Structure 1
Amino acid sequence: MTQKVFISYSHIDEPFRQELEDHLAMLKRDNLISVWHDRKIDGGDNWKNEIDKNLDSADIILFLISSKFLASDYCMDVEVARAIEKEEEGTGRLIPIIIRPVDWQASQLSKFQAFPKDALAITKWENQDEAWVDVTQRLRRVLADFVPNTVPVQSQLDLSNDIKVSNSTLDWLNSTEISFSHRHVDLVKLSHIFVWPDLLLDQDVKDIEIIDSKKLVSQKGRYFITGEEQQGKTTLLKAIYKEALLGSIVPIYIDVKNLKSSDLNKMLEKALNSQYENLDLNKSQDFEVILLIDNLDENGLNRKGLNRFLESVEEYCDWVVITAHESYSLMASDITYLAEYKEAEIQGLGHYKREEIARKWISLGQEETIEDKELYKRCEEISAYLNSIIRKNILPPKPIYILMLMQMHEASTKQNLDMTSHGHCYQKLIYQDLEKAKVKSAEIEKYMNFLTELAWTIFSNEGPLNLHFKEEFFKQYNNTFMQVDGNRLIATLSHVPILKESDGLLSFSYPYIYYFFTAKKIAEGYQTKPEVKDAFEKLLAGFHREDYSNILVFITHHSKEKWVTDEINNVLSGLFKEQTESKLNNEQLSFMDDFLSQIPQLIIQTKSIQESRDERNKRLDKLSRENADDERENDDVPSDILVSINKTFKGMEISGQILKSRHATLEKSILLTLAENGTSTGLRFLDYFISISDSTKTEVINIVLSLLSESSDISNSELEDQAKKAYYHLVYSVINGVVRKIASSVGSREAYEIYVELEQKSDSPAITLIKQAIDLQFNRNIDFVELERTNLKLKSNPVCQHILKEIVVQHVYMFPTDYKEKQRLEELFGLPVKRQRLFDSNKRGKG
C-alpha cells in the first residue's frame, strides 16, 4: 500500500523541504509514498481545513526541525500535538528531521527517534547529500515495517459511523495461528512479520509472469489462488481483508471447509453478523465488497451444488478471491464458474521477500533504535543462514518455515552435539511435523528409524517405491527390526508433509527430509556396513549430480568423523590435477593489460543501501527461476569436462559447508586442509580456463565477430576491435566470478583465522584477493588496516586490483558506509564518489 507522507516545516526552511522531496523521488516512483505539504493547497481553499484533513489521513508525519519551526505556535500546538495523538493511536508514525542545530530535545518531540543518524543536523554534515540519503534509507525502513493500527482505521472508513469491525475479527486478523517467540516483543502479531507473497499467473504462455499479491486489492476481478499446505493462503486473505478496510472496501471472509449447503445468503448473513457491528446483507449492497472464500478444495458439495454456490457468488459481487490447495487446480478446469477466474499460484519466498521478512524480524521491537549498520549486518547474516538451509529449494521457502528458522537461529539452541546447527534445524522441523501428526514421544525413535530405512531403500532403488517395492520394503524391515504396521505409519506421515503417495509411488514430500534420512543411514553405517560404504563412494564419484552433492552435505551435518573430510579432500585433490593453481600474477595475466587500461574508472554512486540490496535480491530471484527452467529442460548427459567443472564448484561448497558448521569441533589442521583443498581446486580450474581461453582466443574472437557482423554496419576494423573487447571482457568476468565464487563457497566468519593463516603461507595474489573478499563478505565491515595492506600487495597487479575495487564498491552498496569511510576509499583506490546535485541552499523560499 502507498503510504501518505505529510511534511510540516517553517516556510523559511522551504529549500530544505524541496531538497527532501528531491531525495524522496525514488520512493514516490516505487509507489511507496505520496507526499503532501501546504504548498499543495489551492488558492481559495480553507488552508486550516486542508492541513487538518491531510494530517489526519497521513501515515507518516515528517517535521523539519529548526529554531523557526519550534518558534511557530501553529506547528507546535496544532500539528505536533495531533501527530503525537496519531503516534499514540498507532495510526501514524512521527519522525523529526533535524535540519539546523537547535535545542529540540527540550520539546515534546524529544521522545521520538530523530533523523538523520545521531540526530545530527543536516547542515552539520560535511556532505548534505549523505545526510539526506541517510534520511531516505531510514524512512524506507519505516515504510517497510510500519503498519497502521487496524482498530482506529474503522473511524476512517467511509461506510457509516455506526459500522465497525468486530473485536473478534480484529483479533483474528492479527493472529499468527502459530506462536512465535521474539527477544524484543511479548506477542508477535501477524502485522509484525507479514510480507506479500509473489503469485505465479497461469496464462498458458511460455514466459511466466510473477506479480505481487497486493495487486489483488488494487485490481478488481475474480481470482482463484492455489498453494501447498502451509503456503499462507489464509494469511494472504487476512492481509487482503485488512488492506481492503484501509481502502474503505467491505471485505467478507467465508471458510467453506466442510460446506454442506449452497445457500450463499445464509453464509453471508452469518459472516457479516460475526465480522461486523451494524452491517447486514441488505446494507452491504450499498458498498464496494470483496468476497474472500477460503479452502474451496475442502468443501462438502457435489458438482451441482458447488456450481450453484459459485453462481450465487458471481451474482452477489464481481470482486472475489478464492483459495484452494494446489492439487485442486487440476479439478478447477471442470468447474464451470471457475473458468472466468484468473488463476495464480502462491510462490515461496525468494531472496527479495526473505530479506524483507528478515528485516521485519530483526527490527521488531527496536524499529526506532536499531542502527543501519547493525540492521544490514544482521540481515546479511540471516539471509546467508536461510540460503544455506534452503539451498536450491530442498526445503520449501514457505513463510512458516522461514519464521521457524529465524526463531531457531535467534535461540541458537543445539541439543545433539554430534549434529551441526543446520542438521539440528532440519531435525527440529521433522520433529515438529511428527508432533503435528500426533506421534507419541515414546514412538518418535520408531518413526525416525522407519524413515531412515525407507530413505535408504528409495536411494538404493534410485527412485520412489511402487506397490511391489513398498511391500518388499515392509517385509525386509519387519525381518530386521521389531515389527511395525507399515501402512499405518505411512498413513500417519502422509497427513503431514513428510511422506506422499502419488500415482502409486511412495516418496518423501520434500527433498530435505529424504536427504536428511539417507545421510543419517550412511553416517551411521559407513564403518560397519560394506554396502553403505559402497554407496558413499558412489556419491563421491557422482557428486556433480544435485541430489548426490546434497546428500554429501547432509552427511557432514550428521557426522564429524575424520573419514568424511578425508574422502572429500581426496576427491577435491583429483580435480584438474594436471593444472597448477592459478596465482593470478602479472606473468599469467599480462595479456589483459591493454583491455584494463580501456575500462572506465569505477565510481561509487550515492544510492540507497536498501535499493541496492533490493536490486541484488531481485536479480538472484530471476537467476533462480532461469536456472530451475534450465535444469528441467536439460536432460543431456554432461561431458567429462563439464562433470569436472560441476564437481569443482560443488566440492568447494561442500568443503565450505564443513568449515562453516564444524569450525568449533574439528581440529585446526583439518580445517586448514579443507580450506586449502577447496581454494586450490577452484584455482586449478581457473588456471585451466585461462590456458584454454588463450589457446582458443582466435576461434572465440572469430565466433564473436561473425555474430556482431550479422547485425551491424560498422567497418571491419571496428568490428574486430569490438570482438576482441568482448573476448577480454568474457575472460575478465570469469576470473572475477570464480574468485568471488571461491570466497563465497569456502569462506566463513567463524573460521576467518584459517584464511588468514592460508594467506600467510602463500605468495599468491589470488589467495590475497580471496582472503580479502572473505573478510568483506563475512565480517561485513571494512578493516582499513587490512584493506590497505591488501591494496599494497596488489598495487602492481592491474587485474587483481580492479577486482578488489569492484569487491569494495559492492560492499559499499550493500552496507552503510559513512562519508569519512568513503573519503578514505577515494584516497586509497582513487574511487570517486558520484555526488547528487547539491540543492542551492541560497534559493529564495516561497513563503
Structure 2
Amino acid sequence: MSRSGTFQVRLFYSYSHKDDAHQVEMEKALARLKQEGVLSDWSDKKIPPGQRISAATKKAIQESNIVAFLVSQDFIASEACREEWELAGELPSVERVPIILSHCAWRDMGEMAELKALPNDGNPICSYRNPDEAWQEIYVGLRALIEEIRTTFTIKEQFREKMENTDFLSQNQISLQDFFVFPVLGSYSDAIQEDPIEAIIPSEDALLEHDYLLLHGERLSGKTALCRYLFLRFIDQKVPALYLDLESVRAKTAREQVFEEAYQGQSNGDYSMWKKQRDKVIILDNLSSDTRSHVDVAMEHFDCVIVAVQTDIFDAFYRDDEHLAKFQVVKILPLTHVAQEKLIRRRIELTGQPDSATHGYIDSVENRVNEIIINNKILPRYPFYVLSILQTYEGFMPSDLAISSYGHCYYILIIAHLVKSGIARTDDEINPCFNFAEQLAFKLFTESPSLHAIDKETFENFKTDYGKTFLPIKTSMLQRILHPDYGIVTDRNDYRFRNPYMYYFFLGKFLARNAKEFAEVIGEMIEKSYLPSNRLALIFGAYPPNYTK
C-alpha cells in the first residue's frame, strides 16, 4: 500500500550483475508508474548490509506480483538467476515477464519461450537503433499488465485454504465444502421479535433474498462454518465479497480502512477499484457488545451485510436494537433427523472405510450418535458435536475414546491432529504433548493475554525453561506438535495454537491442574467471566474430560 491508499503492484528485478546498467535503465523507464503510486520495485541492491542475500531475495520474490527477468547470455549462465526463474515458476500468483536484453538462447529455456516477452515479439533491446523505443515498448507492456493485476479481483490461495479448512480430519484431505449441510434456520418477521420463530428457511437462495441478515445461534452451533461457506459461495459465483472476524478488530476504530486492510489480506487487486463494483457483500462474524460500530460502517459501503452473533450476546445487546431494524433475524436451530442423517452420510463416506456408505452401517452410526445426543443428553444436536462423535470412527483414531462431556469433543479433535501429525496413539507419547501444550498455553496467557502468541525468542526461552522443570521435549515430538498441516501449534509468523479452542482447552487444563497455586488468577478470571477469553478457559477448567471409557 502507498501512502495515498493506492494498491501498488510489486515488481522484482532478476538479472545478472553484469547487466546492472540495463537494470538501472529499466528503473528509469518505469519511473512514471512509481510516481503514480501503482508500482513498487525491488532488487538485491535494497538488501541491507549483513543480511543473507538468498533469504532476502526469496522473500522478495514470494511477495512480488511480477518478476521481470532481464535475459542475456550472462543471465542464462548465472546459476542464481536460473534459481530465481524456477522459484518464481513455483508461485502461481507471480507473473513472469522476460525482458530480452541481447541475442541469446532464451527460447531454449523451457517455459520462457511460451511467455510473452518484451520488447514486442521478444526482439532484444540491442537490436533497436534507438534503445528508448525498446524501453517504451517495455513500459507500455508492463503498464497493461499492472492494470490487469489491479483489476483482477481473485481470492488469495492461502486465504481460501483458511476458509476451507476444517478441524475434522480424515484419512484423506477434506474441506468444509466436502461435508457441509445447510443448517436448520428459523426466521422472525423482523429484527425486534420474540419467539416463536415464524418460519424455517429452506435453502441458501431463500436465505440470501435479504440484503441485511443477522444470524444468531448458541456457541458452536455452526455460525462461523455457515459464514465461511456463504463467503466461498459468493467468491465462486464471482460476487465481490469480504469476510471479517470482528474479534480481530475489536481494538480498531470503525472506518472503511478496516475493510481495506481485510481485503488486502484475502484478495488480489486494487481495493479502490474493487469497491466500485455493484452488489458487494460483507460477512461480519463474531459480533460482540462493543463492535456494532463496524456494522454501521459496513452498511454505508456494502450492498449486502451478513452479521453472525452468539445468541446470549444477541439477547443481551441486540434483540431490541433499533439500529438493526433493517436486518432479517435468523436463528440457527439444532439439526433435524433428516439433516443429521445427511451430515452423517457425507462424513462417513469420507472415511474411506469399506462398506462405509451402506445403509446398515449408516444406521448403526446414527444410532450411536442418537444414544449420545438424545438418550444420554450429553450434547446438543449441532453439526460440531455430531462431527466430533464421527471423528472417533476414523481408522487412525485410538479405539478407546468415548464422549461423555462437552470437553471430550475438543479432546478428540486434538487427538486427531496429534495422531495425523505422527504422534503414536500411546500415553507415553500423547501425555508429554499434552503437558508441553498446557505449559505453553499458560505462557501465552501470561506473556500475551490478548494475542495469545509469542515470538521465536520467547518460545525458545520457554523450551529451555520447560526442559529444566520437566524432561526436555523430544525434537521429533516437537516437530510433530509444530507439523505444518496437522500440528496443534503453528510457527509461521509467531507461535500460537492452531485454533483458539486448543488454546482455551490447554489453558483450562493447566488451571484445573494447578488450581491451588493459581487460585488468585482463577479468582480474577471468575470476576471477569463476562470476557469470552476468561469464560472459555474456565469452562474447560471446570469440566476436565475423562479421556477413556
Is the radius of gyration larger for structure 1 or structure 2?
A: 1
TM-score normalised by the chain length of structure 1 = 0.31
TM-score normalised by the chain length of structure 2 = 0.46
